[in-house]
Amino acid sequence: MMKKVRLCKFPDGIPQEVIRFLSDAEIYDSSCSTEAAVYFIDKSGGYYLKSSRKGALKNEAAMTGYFHSKGIGPEVLSYTSDDSDWLLTAALPGEDCTGEAYLSNPKRLCDTIADELRKLHETDYSGCPIPDRTSSYLSLAEYNYQTGNYDKSHFPDSFGYHSADEAYHVLHEGKNALQSKVLLHGDCCLPNIILDNWKLSGFIDVGNGGVGDRHIDLFWGIWSLWYNLKTDRYESRFLDAYGRDAVDTALLKVIAAAEVFG
């Protein structure tokens, strides 16, 4: 579950239009990344305030609003980009999939997230603000390969490569098979899926989303089950529950090759 550490004072630089949400409220640091600060505002149904470098949350604000329009994401209440970016959203009811109630029932959890992911990928993506996520995804992998950014330490052995050149060869040979055909989350890990008593409340942290290749989400779903459950025994079950008719396991290796380049 997302941690919450109570703060004695409000963070510096909060936009004036957000201040009204903070009156008579307790605020907690809920950050889990060095790339962005996340604060939970304990008021009414709750709010989340995210801050990062200028321009960093632009896509997330757009995609969060789009997911909300589909009934599968939180409402965006404010987005400002001055010296820094600030994104304010309403909290979704429920808790993320790393909650004990979910991790303690791994088979049901596996089947649930696979089912919800398949539904996401079958959602009409007309008007999506990021219409070709696959191109930018591959461009970033190419750039990181050329600049020496290679790290396979966070992936299970079955997705690892012995060298950057080996991974790049697989990526280069397989990248043309990747398509932009589904509404993509882009970082489909357990902490980014909110359930309310096993019913989908919505998806969060969709800044890497857009119209893209389903295997990106499938890769991260498999990875997150391995990482959070400390076992790889649910990989096959996850793909079965999602539907093997839409899965090309060879493309999962292509995605893994791209992901080791950050």
Q: Measuring CA to CA, which residue among 15, 9, 11 is closest to residue 83?
A: 15
Residues 155-180 have a mean pLDDT of: 84
Q: What is the pLDDT of residue 2?
A: 58
- Residue 23 has which token pair? 């009156």
d(CA 162, CA 137): 22
Q: Which helix (H) or strand (E) element contains residue 56?
A: none
Give the closest residue to 21 by CA, choosing from 3, 47, 39. 47
The percent of residues above 90 in pLDDT, for the chain, comes to 77
Q: How far is CA 206 from the centre of its chain?
A: 5
Instruction: From 188, 198, 195, 3, select the one nearest 94 (Cα to Cα).
Output: 195
pLDDT of residue 16: 84
- The distance between the two most distant Cα atoms of the chain, rounded to a whole number of Å, is 57
**Does the pLDDT value for residue 6 go beyond 80?**
no
Are the C-beta atoms of 17 and 78 separated by less than 8 Å? yes
pLDDT band at 209, cuts 50/70/90?
very high
At 86, which helix (H) or strand (E)? strand 84-90
- Chain segment 18-38, per-residue pLDDT in tens: 888 888 888 898 887 778 899
Angle at 121 between CA 132 and CA 73, to 5 degrees: 90
pLDDT over 90 at 204, yes or no: yes
For the segment 95-123, what is each residue's pLDDT rounded down to a tens digit? 999 999 999 999 999 999 999 999 999 99
pLDDT at 223: 93
Residue 5, beta-bridge partner list: 29
User: Which CATH architecture describes the domain 95-259?
Assistant: Alpha-Beta Complex (3.90)
Q: Which CATH class is domain 5-90?
A: alpha beta
Residue 186 to residues 81, 89, 196, 216, Cα–Cα distance (Å): 23, 19, 22, 7
Cβ-based burial of 174 (10 A; exposed 0-12, middle 13-18, buried ≥19): middle
Confidence of residue 153 (pLDDT cuts 50, 70, 90): low
> φ, ψ for residue 43 (rounded to 5)?
-155, 140
Averaged pLDDT for residues 8-17: 80
Burial of 243 (0-12, 13-18, 19+ CB in 10 A): middle
Known active-site residue 240: no
Cα–Cα dist 262/242, whole Å: 25
Reading the block at residue 52, the tokens are 């990062």
CA dihedral (54, 56, 57, 62) in degrees, to 10, reads 110
Domain definitions of the chain by residue range: 5-90, 95-259
- Report the pLDDT value the prediction gives residue 138, as an integer from 0 to 100: 97
Whether the per-residue pLDDT at 152 is higher than 90: the answer is: no
For residues 56-80, average pLDDT: 97
Which range (10-14, 45-49, 60-64, 224-228) has the least confidence?
10-14
pLDDT surpasses 60 at 249: yes
Q: Are 55 and 87 in contact (CB under 8 A)?
A: no
Residue 53 DSSP SS3: strand
Q: Which residue has the higher pLDDT, 216 or 159?
A: 216
pLDDT over threshold 60, residue 157: no
Q: Let me know: does 83 contact 109? Beta carbons within 8 Å.
A: no
Out of 96, 187, 205, 217, pick the active-site residue: 187
156 pLDDT above the threshold of 60 = no
- pLDDT for 158 equals 43
Average pLDDT, the chain: 92
CB-CB contact of 83 with 69 (8 Å): no
Separation of alpha carbons 262 and 245, rounded Å: 29
pTM: 0.93
